[in-house]
Amino acid sequence: MGQLDSKVAIVTGAGQGIGKAVAEALAAEGATVVVSDINADAAQAVSSALGGGSSFAADASSEEDVQALVQHAVDTHGRLDIAVANAGIAHMAPLVGQSLADFRKVTSINLDGVFLVTRYAGPVIAGGGGGTIVNIASITSQAAAPLIGSYAASKAAVVSLTQTAAIELRDAGVRVNAICPGFIDTQLVVDRKADFEALGLPMPFDDLIAAKQGRYGTPEEVGKLAVFLAGPRSSFSSGSAYVLDGGARASVL
Ligand SMILES: NC(=O)c1ccc[n+]([C@@H]2O[C@H](COP(=O)([O-])OP(=O)(O)OC[C@H]3O[C@@H](n4cnc5c(N)ncnc54)[C@H](O)[C@@H]3O)[C@@H](O)[C@H]2O)c1
C-alpha cells in the first residue's frame, strides 16, 4: 500500500529534471499523476512511462493554461488532492544591465506560476476534503549569488507566498509547504555552469559545489521530500520552507 493511494496530483514542469522525479515519486506511492509541462512531448513521454495518469501541456505562467490543467485533473480523474508547483527557469544576468522583460520572464514563470497553482488548485483541493500544495522554491530564496538576481527574488517570493497560502487555506484542511533545494544535478544547472565560471570562480564550478554541498543533490532526493510533504507523514507541517542542500546553508566556510 502506498502513502498516496487514491490521491490525484498535478505536477508542473514535469517533463524533465526535478518535476519528472517528483511525478515518478508520487506515482510510486500510488498517486494518479497529471504530468504537465510547456513541452507537450516531454510531458507525454514521462506520463507514458508512469502509466495510470495523464499528461497535459500547459505554460505555468498562463492563467488560462493553469486553470485548464486543474479542470483537466478533475474532469479526467475525478478529483485533485496534491498540486506541485515546480515549473521554473533561470536567466543569467547581473541586475544592472538586465532588461525588465528578462526580469519579468523569470518572475512570470517562477512566481506567477506558483500563484496560479495556488489560485486555481487551492479551492479544488479544499473542496475534496483537504490535501496539499508543494512549491519548489530554492536555496537562493535565502542566500544570493551573482547573476541570478531575478531567480533568487522570485524564489524568496515563493516562500512568502507559501506562508500566506498555508494560513489562508488552513481551515480548509489544505497544507502548503515549500522545498528549497541547493544545487541539483539537472539540465538547468548544467546549462549555467559556464556563466558562473566566467565570473572568475576560485575553482571549477563542480569543485565549488563539492566544497559547499559535498556533491550535487539528485532529483530523486527532491522527489522523496515532495512525497513526505504531499502525504500523511507530514500531517502537522504547513507554511514551512524545507532546505535540501547537503548542509551548504549551515556552513560559513
Ligand atoms: N536544479 C537545481 O539545482 C534547482 C535548485 C533549486 C530549485 N530548482 C527549481 O526546481 C524546478 C525545476 O528545475 P529543474 O532543475 O528540474 O529544471 P529543468 O530545466 O531541468 O526542467 C524544467 C522543466 O520545466 C519546464 N518549463 C519551463 N518553462 C515552463 C513553463 N513556462 N511552463 C511549464 N513548464 C515549463 C521545462 O520544459 C522543463 O521540463 C524549478 O522551479 C527550479 O527553479 C532547481
Mean pLDDT value across residues 162-166: 98
Residue 129 pLDDT = 83
Residue 74 pLDDT = 98
From 89, 117, 162, 215, mutation site for ligand 1 pocket: most ligand atoms within 8 A of C-beta = 89
Cα–Cα separations (whole angstroms), residue 69 to 32, 178, 196, 211, 245:
14, 21, 35, 41, 31
Residue 128 pLDDT = 84
Neighbour count for residue 30 (Cβ, 10 Å): 15
Residue 187 pLDDT = 97
Burial class (CB in 10 A: 0-12, 13-18, 19+), 185: middle
Confidence band for 7, pLDDT divided at 50, 70 and 90:
very high
Q: How many residues does the chain have?
A: 253
Residues 49-58 pLDDT 10s: 999 999 999 9
Neighbour count for residue 100 (Cβ, 10 Å): 7
127 has pLDDT over 90: no
210 has pLDDT over 90: yes
Residue 147 pLDDT = 96
Residues 26-85 pLDDT 10s: 999 999 999 999 999 999 999 999 999 999 999 999 999 999 999 999 999 999 999 999
From 10, 12, 18, 55, mutation site for ligand 1 pocket: most ligand atoms within 8 A of C-beta = 18
Distance 245 CA to ligand 1 centre (A): 17
Residue with cell 474532469: 75
Q: Find out whether 201 and 169 touch, Cβ atoms under 8 Å.
A: no
Give nearest CA residue, ligand 1 atom 12: 18
Residue 123 pLDDT = 97
From 108, 188, 244, mutation site for ligand 1 pocket: most ligand atoms within 8 A of C-beta = 188
Look up 151 and say whether it is catalytic.
yes
170 has pLDDT over 90: yes
Cα 122 to Cα 239: distance, rounded to the nearest angstrom: 14
Give the distance from CA 249 to its chain's centroid: 19
Catalytic residue chosen out of the listed positions 120, 151, 216, 242: 151
Confidence band for 130, pLDDT divided at 50, 70 and 90:
confident
- Which residues line the pocket of ligand 1, CB cutoff 6 A? 12-13, 15-19, 37-39, 42, 59-61, 86-89, 109, 136, 138, 181, 183-184, 186-189
Distance 36 CA to ligand 1 centre (A): 12
Enter the C-alpha cell of residue 240.
514551512
Nearest ligand 1 atom to alpha carbon 151: 43
Nearest ligand 1 atom to alpha carbon 59: 32
DSSP tag of 38: S
Nearest ligand 1 atom to alpha carbon 155: 43
| Nearest CA-CA partner of 237 in 182, 179, 183, 161 | 179
Residue ranges of the domains in the chain?
Answer: 8-184+218-244
Distance 178 CA to ligand 1 centre (A): 15
The domain 8-184+218-244: what is its CATH number?
3.40.50.720
Mean pLDDT, the chain, rounded, equals: 97
Residues 104-114 pLDDT 10s: 999 999 999 99
Distance 168 CA to ligand 1 centre (A): 27
21 has pLDDT over 90: yes
